[in-house]
Amino acid sequence: MSLQVGLALFIGTVAVVEDLRFRTISNWTTMGAMAAGLGYHAATGGWAGLGSSLIGLMVGFCAFLLFYLLGGMGGGDVKLMAGFGAILGGAVASGQAAIFAAGVGGILAMAVLGFRWLRAVAQRQKISGSPFIPYAPAITAGAWLTLLARS
pLDDT at position 130 is 75
Taking the model in full, what pTM does it have? 0.93
* Size of the chain, expressed as the number of residues it contains: 151
CB burial class (10 A; 0-12, 13-18, 19+) of residue 29? buried
pLDDT at 45: 97
pLDDT of residue 107: 96
Burial letters 45-55, b for 16+ CB under 10 A, else e: eeeebbebbbb
- Burial class of residue 33 (count of CB atoms within 10 Å of its CB; 0-12, 13-18, 19+): buried
Residues in the chain where the model's pLDDT stays below 50: none
Return the pLDDT at 124.
86
Per-residue pLDDT at 95:
95
